[in-house]
Amino acid sequence: MQRGFAPPFKWNLKVTYMKPVNESYPNIGYVLNRLADLADTKSIARKGDSRYRKEEDLSSRKTVDPALIGESVRHLFYEPVSKIVSVEFAEFFTDSIWMGINNYLELIKRVPMEGISQNKVAFMLNRYYVVEALASIVWKVGTSQMPTNNVPSFYCGKQPFKELVAFYESQNSLPENNLNNFFADNIRTINKWRCGEDIPNLGNLTLLAQWTSVSNPSAINEDKETLFLTRFIDSFHRKTNYKFVTALKEAVIVRLKKNKEPLLDLGQIFSKFYFDEISSTDLFKLTVKGSELHKLLKRTSFKPSGSFEQYSKQLKALDKSVEKHNLSDELRYHSEWLQGRLFILNGQVSEALDHYVNAVELSLYKSGDNIRNLLKESLAIAAVQNKPHKPTMKKIKSRALTFCPQIIEPHLRELPVCITAEDIDDWRLWFVLRFPKSGWFDDGVDDLTSHIESLGLLDIADKVS
């Protein structure tokens, strides 16, 4: 059965985003675990001699490292599916998962979801990632099973596995081929499958395939594929309260009518969703407050005498507003970033780094110009320490190479990630050029001047000012 990859996606990057804040997406580890729950592969997934099923076992839970994600995809999907179904189908199914994860990472990098309820974000991800990927799989698998350009109807039903069992029972009409004979000790369980009350676990699919192919043993692999895919779709509908039954059917019909994959402009779809949601809430005032404080704390803007204390109070007030909107978890990185900006402009170099490191850690799975600027500043603040901590810089640089590789000089992007003297020198120079004296707080001028002088960059700093 010849199959391709998951559908191609088009990206619309010509969108001006609101810069002050943005919200986390579900992390990759969580997404992979939920997909593995749908496939029921976690129960037999292994890593060496150990089970590979617990959330904390997923090495990519809080990372975007392609190697770690690839390892997790292999353990959670390819290896279990290849044992239960077939190697060919496992490769095809894993390719679809891997392509979907890559497209999800591109979405994270390009479209902020700030202040949007994660339930609504999850709905959109289910609708435009899971549904469209499933439609592509159904189209490829289903048309290969039908003599005409069509797919078996049970794939698009509300209770696909119930319909599939009914279909196979209509084909195996001989008494000796009755399903009850294959599961004589589990008649109650079979009846639950028949009425749609429950679906089988992955371990039962092999025995079910033996029953479905009793009259045609050579078709057992195709029956395994059908059973696995139908079970996966049924599990998805159950987990999502049957909200996407119609959407999946319509997505499959689109592919059948056009006889090709649709080109989905996910960038435009999710950007429109973001702006529509923001426009329908009262977050505009919060965004204005954030924008105002960003302007006041701009690296190059003049800071009036005594403004450090005033801006600190404004940051606390902004934090309270964020808390009232129940967005503290999503926007803590933003508060840490601005606190770090306050400290560095006041000459408190080491204190500033603590907040920048926290901000970077909290900004995982966020996107937009602000994240790019945060990563730049964080590398610079780490570099201008008296004794730069290379593991800290390495962690920040690794994050930058994943989400904003363009901020790293091309010849310094080599993997594995390392921190060289050139990295430190480049980011120290960036700091001096982007944090001119004209933007420092009065109380921090002496300390910051002495610090810059100790780095041998005071002459450049004076020229920039």
Decide if pLDDT at 329 tops 80: no
Rama region for 159: left / alpha / beta (φ>0; ψ in -120 to 50; rest): beta
Decide if pLDDT at 12 tops 50: no
Between 413 and 173, residue with greater pLDDT? 413
Decide if pLDDT at 6 tops 50: no
β-bridge pairing 9-10 and 264-265: parallel
Which range, 73-82, 190-199, 228-237, has the best average confidence (pLDDT)? 228-237
**pLDDT band (50, 70, 90) for residue 370:** confident
pLDDT at 20: 32
Between 22 and 69, residue with greater pLDDT? 69
**pLDDT band (50, 70, 90) for residue 24:** low
pLDDT at 16: 32
pLDDT at 13: 34
pLDDT at 11: 37
Average pLDDT over residues 203-225: 87
Decide if pLDDT at 235 tops 50: yes
pLDDT at 291: 83
Other beta carbons within 10 angstroms of residue 7's beta carbon come to 22
- 283-464: what CATH class? mainly alpha
| Of the listed ranges 213-227, 231-245, 293-307, 377-391, the one predicted with least confidence | 213-227
Which range, 25-34, 71-80, 105-114, 178-187, has the best average confidence (pLDDT)? 71-80
CA dihedral 322, 323, 326, 330 (to 10 degrees): 60
Between 399 and 158, residue with greater pLDDT? 158
**pLDDT band (50, 70, 90) for residue 456:** very high
Asked if residue 247 lies in contact with residue 127, where contact means CB atoms within 8 angstroms, the answer is yes
- The pLDDT tens digits of the residues spanning 343-368 come to 999 999 999 999 999 999 888 777 67
Q: Look-up: residue for tokens 């039903």?
A: 157
Strand ranges (E), 82-151:
none
Which pTM value belongs to this model? 0.70
Average pLDDT over residues 326-339: 85
Between 81 and 112, residue with greater pLDDT? 81
Asked if residue 451 lies in contact with residue 461, where contact means CB atoms within 8 angstroms, the answer is no
**pLDDT band (50, 70, 90) for residue 85:** very high
- The pLDDT tens digits of the residues spanning 238-277 come to 999 999 999 999 999 999 999 999 998 998 999 999 888 8
- Average pLDDT taken over every residue of the chain: 86
Choose among 116, 91, 107: nearest CA to 6.
Answer: 91
Amino acid at 253: I
Question: What is the C-alpha to C-alpha distance for residues 182 and 203, in angstroms, rounded to an integer?
Answer: 14
The rounded Cα 234 to chain-centroid distance in angstroms is: 24
Between 462 and 149, residue with greater pLDDT? 462
Decide if pLDDT at 7 tops 60: no
- The pLDDT tens digits of the residues spanning 34-55 come to 999 999 998 788 766 566 555 5
Q: How many helices, marked H, and strands, marked E, lie in the chain?
A: 22, 4
Question: What is the C-alpha to C-alpha distance for residues 393 and 381, in angstroms, rounded to an integer?
Answer: 10
Average pLDDT over residues 148-161: 93
- The pLDDT tens digits of the residues spanning 102-117 come to 899 888 878 878 777 7
Decide if pLDDT at 332 tops 50: yes
Asked if residue 239 lies in contact with residue 40, where contact means CB atoms within 8 angstroms, the answer is no
Question: What is the C-alpha to C-alpha distance for residues 199 and 210, in angstroms, rounded to an integer?
Answer: 17
Decide if pLDDT at 175 tops 70: no
Q: Look-up: residue for tokens 């500043």?
A: 377
Decide if pLDDT at 295 tops 50: yes
Domain coordinates of the chain in residue numbers? 9-272, 283-464
Between 212 and 229, residue with greater pLDDT? 229
